[in-house]
Amino acid sequence: MKEFFIGPDPDDPRLSVPVTGRDHDGAEIETHVVTERPLTLFLNGQEIVTMMTIGDYPDLLAAGYLFNQNMLRADDEITAIEHDDDLDVVVVRTKRETDYEEKLKKKTQTSGCAQGTVFGDLMEEFEETQLDPEARVHTSWLYQLQKKINTAPSLYLKAGAIHGCVLCREGEPLIYVEDVGRHNAVDKIAGYMILNDIAPRDKIFYTTGRLTSEMVIKTVKMGIPVLCSRSGFTAWGVDLARQAGLTLIGRMRGRRFVVLSGEDRVVYDADPESVAEEAAKHARKASQPEEAI
């Protein structure tokens, strides 16, 4: 049985390349590094942004980016998504005529690896969004998820220097994508949900990266009530999560985790003492700088 509907493909030759070098002893080695290539996004006839990405799932990335930037509305009809691999261009076409020239002038830089952008009017929608108060997250699900995700074949385990995001339901990971920036990985998840009409109310969003303001804003935008990570928090991310009623769980490693927002959704149904500590190879990975997580 396939583990994920969509999952990492570390054997895809387009996504990483072998590079020779020398190690700490001066010995010659060969290691894999992830690819990074530009992708210019157009919405109908207007150029929107050029993103640096590993290059997989350009349709998901394009649709998710436009949705998370409020350039695609929930009721928009996407008539086509066209990708030219040679030109590194993706075009999203909609039935509704669009013109975001003024909106593009309002964008501000975020902490998403110096690549993410969030537009000013996103915060207005953020303040009005209501997440499902009846949603719950069981601690047994968290332990199941981190085991399945951490041990799955991935570009991170093969080459590092990449972020992963996973859409989950209960203790099952459904969609697992990776990219050089966490914002791209989030947008791929959003794009999959849009193009496949996936309901967010019973979902959990897992990321390998920091729980920043951008991660919180995009998770709330998607309507997902639970956001968790093996990494840590930023103060503004915590403040925004509390404001939105988002359950925010970080530092998930082995039997340990920390909840800093939305504690009322957490159901403690597993004995932490029955959970094995994280395997040594994953613990070493977790100790690397955040940019590699």
For the segment 180-189, what is each residue's pLDDT rounded down to a tens digit?
A: 988 899 999 9
Please tell me the distance from the alpha carbon of residue 172 to that of residue 166, in angstroms, as a whole number: 10
Residue 286: the pLDDT is 45
Q: What is the dihedral of CA 176, 167, 183, 252, to 10 degrees?
A: -90
**Does some domain include residue 112?**
no
**Does some domain include residue 123?**
no
Question: For all residues of the chain together, what is the average pLDDT?
Answer: 89
**Does some domain include residue 56?**
no
**Does some domain include residue 70?**
no
**Does some domain include residue 81?**
no
**Does some domain include residue 63?**
no
104 has pLDDT over 50:
yes
* Greater model confidence, 248 or 112: 248
Please tell me the distance from the alpha carbon of residue 236 to that of residue 167, in angstroms, as a whole number: 23
Task: Name the pLDDT band for 101 (thresholds 50, 70, 90).
Answer: confident
**Does some domain include residue 130?**
no
- Output b/e per residue, 247-273; b: 16+ Cβ within 10 A: bbbbbbbbbebebbbbeebbeeebeee
pTM of the predicted model as reported, rounded to 2 decimal places:
0.88
CATH of the domain at 224: 3.40.140.10
3 has pLDDT over 90:
no
| Domain extent for 150 | 137-292
Read off the tokens for 239. 């403040």
**Does some domain include residue 121?**
no
The structural domain count of the chain equals 1
Question: What's at 49, amino acid-wise?
Answer: V
For residue 142, what are the CA distances in angstroms to 179, 215, 240?
23, 19, 22
